[in-house]
């Protein structure tokens, strides 16, 4: 456990370099030699800090997930009530992905190719998503603004719907339409769970 701070800093440096390559060239076309050269270290050193290229990629995904997580928490905290929190959650999440797809130009191309790998890597984030949504929904029930029979399944349904909309969103299938659609879905969703006097 000695020198762990120093090791983490170095890992971070490597990730910063790797991130840029993955963004521009994707997983397949990014080479370990390039990462090593750009980071000014030997390629072998890379393998001292990470066990494989996929491992680095996974670390980048997890880092990205942490950024989104803090973004979500920030926007949720800003929201005044459960309704606004839920709205902020869905909108922030979908907008973030959209922005990401501009930076990660390879994201759209490699989406099908690496779908299951990314999904496996995001497992923790997905758990976080469900937990957070459950918390928001539960808070809404407690405050008497939501009326939901099964919070678990409701949270799961929301997550799967958001995931489902990811690919069409990346393909910009309906481009401008998409944000409207999300708003409409939110409206229907709210009418669906809002308790009425």
Could you list the residues that contact its own copies (CB under 8 A)? Answer: 111-112, 115-116, 119, 147, 149-150, 153-154, 156-157, 160-161, 163-168, 171, 173-174, 177-178, 180-181, 184-185, 187-193, 196
Least distance in angstroms from the C-beta of 166 to its own copies: 8
Contact 170, 102 (CB under 8 A): no
Q: Which is nearer to its own copies, 23 or 170 (CB)?
A: 170
Crossing angle of helices 107-121 and 53-78, rounded to 10°: 90
Of 67, 89, 188, 191, which Cα lies nearest the Cα of 135? Answer: 89
Q: Which is nearer to DNA, 102 or 116 (CB)?
A: 116
Phi-psi region of 172 (alpha: psi -120 to 50; beta: other; left: phi over 0): left
Contact 62, 124 (CB under 8 A): yes
Residue 188 binds what, of its own copies, DNA, none (CB under 5 to 8 Å, by partner type)? its own copies
Residue 31 binds what, of DNA, its own copies, none (CB under 5 to 8 Å, by partner type)? DNA
Residue 42 binds what, of DNA, its own copies, none (CB under 5 to 8 Å, by partner type)? DNA
Q: Which is nearer to its own copies, 135 or 156 (CB)?
A: 156
Query: Where along the sequence are the contacts to DNA (CB under 7 A)?
Result: 2-3, 6-7, 10, 29-33, 41-45, 47-49, 51-54
Give me the phi and psi of 69, to 5 degrees please: -55, -50
Q: Which is nearer to its own copies, 6 or 196 (CB)?
A: 196
Burial class (CB in 10 A: 0-12, 13-18, 19+), 15: buried
């Amino acid at each position: 456990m000695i020198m762990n701070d120093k090791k983490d800093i170095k890992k971070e440096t490597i990730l910063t370099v790797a991130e840029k390559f993955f963004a521009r060239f994707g997983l397949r076309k990014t080479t370990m030699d390039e990462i090593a050269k750009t980071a000014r270290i030997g390629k072998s050193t890379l393998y001292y800090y990470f066990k494989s290229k996929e491992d680095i990629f996974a670390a980048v995904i997890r880092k990205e997930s942490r950024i989104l997580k803090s973004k979500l928490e920030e926007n949720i905290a800003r929201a005044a009530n459960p309704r606004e929190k839920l709205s902020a959650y869905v909108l922030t999440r979908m907008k973030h992905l959209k922005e990401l797809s501009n930076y990660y130009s390879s994201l759209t191309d490699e989406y099908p190719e690496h779908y299951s790998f990314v999904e496996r890597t995001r497992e923790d984030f997905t758990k976080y998503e469900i937990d957070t949504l459950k918390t928001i929904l539960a808070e809404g029930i407690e405050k008497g603004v939501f009326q939901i029979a099964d919070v678990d399944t409701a949270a799961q349904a929301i997550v799967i719907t958001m995931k489902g909309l990811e690919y069409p969103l990346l393909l910009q299938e309906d481009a401008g339409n998409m944000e409207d659609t999300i708003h409409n879905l939110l409206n229907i969703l709210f009418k669906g769970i809002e308790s009425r006097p």
